[in-house]
Amino acid sequence: MRNRALLVVDIQNDFCEGGALAVSGGSDVARDVSAHLRDHADRYVAVVATRDWHAPLPDTNDGHFATGADPDYVTTWPVHCVADTPGAEYHPALQLPAGTLHVRKGQGRQDYSGFEGEVVGAPGETLAAVLAAAGVTEVDVVGLATDHCVAATATDARAAGLAATVLLDLTAAVASPTTLRAVARLAQQGVGLTTSTA
C-alpha cells in the first residue's frame, strides 16, 4: 500500500501579490491549496509545509540576496522571506490542518528544495527521514514557484526514493521559459505532472 503526503511549498506573503518577490497567481494558489486540503483530507497521511526563512542583511544567505547589483532572478534575488517578518509568514488564505509538519529552509544558505531545510520540532532529522518514519512512499507537490522551489522539491523527493507528482494547477511560476525547462527536467526524472482534478 502506498502512503501519500502533500508537500506545500513556500506559500508565503513575500511570494504572493504585494510581496517582495511576488509570483502572479500566488494568492489563488493559497486559496486553491486550502480547498484541495479540505476536499481531500483523507488522501494524505501527512502534510508538510515549507517556508523560506532567511537571515536578514547584512547576511546575504550565501549570495542568495543580491547586493551591489541587480538580481538575476536565477541565483540572486531581492531580499525576501526574512525570518520573523510578515513576508515570511504563510499567506493568510492558506489553511493548513492540525499536525502539519513545518520545514524552514534557506537559513543562511541557498536552499530551494524543502528536503534541504530543517524540520521544526525535529532537530537533526531530515525531511526524507521524517517521511520515511511516517511510512510515506509518494508525495504530491504544490505551491510556489513551479520553476524553482516546487521543481527542486519534487526532484529531491525522487532522489529520496519517493514517487513524486506535481499538481500543476496548484502551483504558480516565476516565468514561462524557466517553467518549460523545469517541467521537461521533471518529466525526465520520472516526476508525474498532472492536475488536482485529473
The catalytic site residues sit at 10, 105, 149
Distances 51 to 40, 144, 149 between C-alpha atoms, Å: 22, 10, 10
Given a contact cutoff of 8 angstroms between Cβ atoms, the answer to whether 115 and 137 are in contact is: no
Q: Please give the Cα distance from 92 to 166 (Å, whole number).
A: 23
Spatial distance between the Cα atoms of 34 and 40, rounded to a whole number of angstroms:
10
Q: What angle do CA 114, 192, 134 make, to 5 degrees?
A: 50
Q: CA–CA separation, 102 vs 17, rounded Å?
A: 23
Question: What's the grid cell of residue 122?
Answer: 525535529
Nearest to 170 by CA among 192, 138, 142: 142
- What cell was used for 163? 514517487
**What secondary structure, in 3-state letters, does 149-176 show?**
HHHHHHHHHHHCCCEEEEEEEEEECCCH
